[in-house]
Amino acid sequence: MLLAQFLRIMAVRPLVRVPVGPQTRRVSLRRLHPAWVVAAVAFVALVGAAGFRATPSVLLHPLHEEFGWPLATISVAVSVNLLLFGLTAPFAAALMDRFGIRRVVAAALTLVAAGSGLTVFMRTSAELILCWGVLVGLGTGSMALAFVATVTGRWFVHRRGLVTGVLTAGGAAGQLVFLPLLANLVEAYGWRTAALVVAGSALAVVPLVVWLLRDHPADLGLPPYGATEVVPAPPRTGGAASRAVRALRTAARTPAFWLLAGGFAICGASTNGLVGTHFIPAAHDHGMTETTAAGLLALVGLFDIAGTVASGWLTDRFDSRVLLAVYYALRGASLLVLPSLFADSLRPNMLVFVIFYGLDWIATVPPTVALCREYFGADAAVVFGWVFAAHQVGAAIAATGAGLVRDQLGNYDLAWYAAGALCAVAAVFSILLRRRPGRTTEPAAPAAPLAGRSEAAAAPAG
């Protein structure tokens, strides 16, 4: 049903008249609006970024066996990757304002290719931290969810929540595409072949980005999708870092920022940091093969696509605070039962967990982006970058902490239980968020001639 609706809203629209300065010209929407092309290219880049970032989860045991490094040591590289993935996001959003989306994403893919390709020459754990931790972390961080907020904020007025959900699902799609492939490559040809495939895949996306990714609809003389007037691109100014810090300083004065950041930190700890990094090793501890465990994690990604797109659709219609509280509570409940589901073979109860958890994996993103727009207006993309940085700080702490728990106790049970309890705290944080007077996440609006109804109020001025 959601796929059918998604295709329907991209369908043919009638001709409309769009005012452009003192003149008015006719814009034909009988062809696909360029916003959808930009969204498609962004989706491909996000698929790649997620796949590149997920690769260390299938390399933990091969690196441990070849080099003898403790899992906790290898987990440090994963933690650095996760941390930089988050901390880069707000600065990347500001850099996109300064240099343009296309240049930043192309440079980010080149960094990922360099970091992955150079790992085949490494001999020490410090080199692993430099390559997979620093280079890949910086590259994938520049294509993080702040990138999603930037694209949807510039190119979409109508269907913004749904498109946010679809692009966020690109992360799940990357996991779905890459994890089984890389697990089989590691098993058949070794981890170095897998690392080179990641490097080649990153480089292959660069020409597509340079060719099709555009910075603003005004560059093509068009309004954003769902708007009736061309919005001039803002002048590019220097000081990307100062703008990111200034947005953080302003946002940090509000309780909403800390509640959103705190909840999203727990989100990161209970997804990328714990399940994304340690599910495969934990399943392997119980006798399950790594390829089977990687297939299960990819299946989480498959159901996450449906869950995240559905979450975007729900965000356009319901209170984002309520959605977040429900998502966190359900995720916590599923993690509390996970330790009892591991076995040496695939059983139906584990499949039930995978489906349930997958639907909730990153469903939190569309309502969180919507709340950032509601609270922080024009600075929403940069502020969301900082909220996402908190997400990755939580993920980094969980990745290292779970590795230490495994090394000290011989199993991951304590890590699963702690994550489940923290999700209950995140649900409480979401309930404590207050609606801003005079603002709504998705207000009703009169029908617009371009796209049925307007969502212009969804991104109020700051």
Exposure letters 194-230 (e unless 16+ CB within 10 A, then b): bbbbbbebbbebbeebeeebbbbbbeeebbbbbbbeb
How many degrees, rounded to 5, is the angle at CA 86 between CA 181 and CA 169?
Answer: 45
Query: Is there a contact between 16 and 29 (Cβ–Cβ < 8 Å)?
Result: yes
pLDDT score of 175: 66
Quick: pLDDT tens for 67-97: 888 877 887 888 888 788 778 877 887 788 7
Q: How many CB atoms lie within 10 A of CB 246?
A: 14
Quick: pLDDT tens for 196-226: 988 888 888 899 898 888 888 888 888 888 8
**Continuous segment of H or E residues that includes residue 27:** strand 23-27
- Phi and psi dihedrals of 326, rounded to 5? -65, -45
**Who has greater pLDDT, 105 or 54?**
105
**Continuous segment of H or E residues that includes residue 310:** helix 290-315
Q: Where are the domains of the chain?
A: 33-223+244-435
- Phi and psi dihedrals of 225, rounded to 5? -65, 120
Q: What is the pLDDT averaged over residues 153-165?
A: 83
pLDDT score of 27: 42
| Among 95-99, 161-165, 406-410, 434-438, the least confident range | 434-438
Quick: pLDDT tens for 43-53: 888 887 777 77
**Who has greater pLDDT, 397 or 30?**
397
Quick: pLDDT tens for 377-414: 878 878 888 898 898 889 889 988 998 898 888 889 99
- pTM comes to 0.66
**Who has greater pLDDT, 124 or 435?**
124
Query: Is there a contact between 168 and 362 (Cβ–Cβ < 8 Å)?
Result: yes
Question: Hey, is 417 helix, strand or coil?
Answer: helix
Q: For domain 33-223+244-435, give the fold.
A: Growth Hormone; Chain: A; (1.20.1250)
Residue 1 has pLDDT above 50, yes or no: no
CA 231 – CA 237 distance, rounded (Å): 18
Query: Is there a contact between 353 and 340 (Cβ–Cβ < 8 Å)?
Result: no
CA 226 – CA 236 distance, rounded (Å): 24
Give the sign of the dihedral formed by CA 374, CA 376, CA 380, CA 386: negative
pLDDT category, 436, cuts 50, 70, 90?
low
**If you count them, how many residues does the chain have?**
462
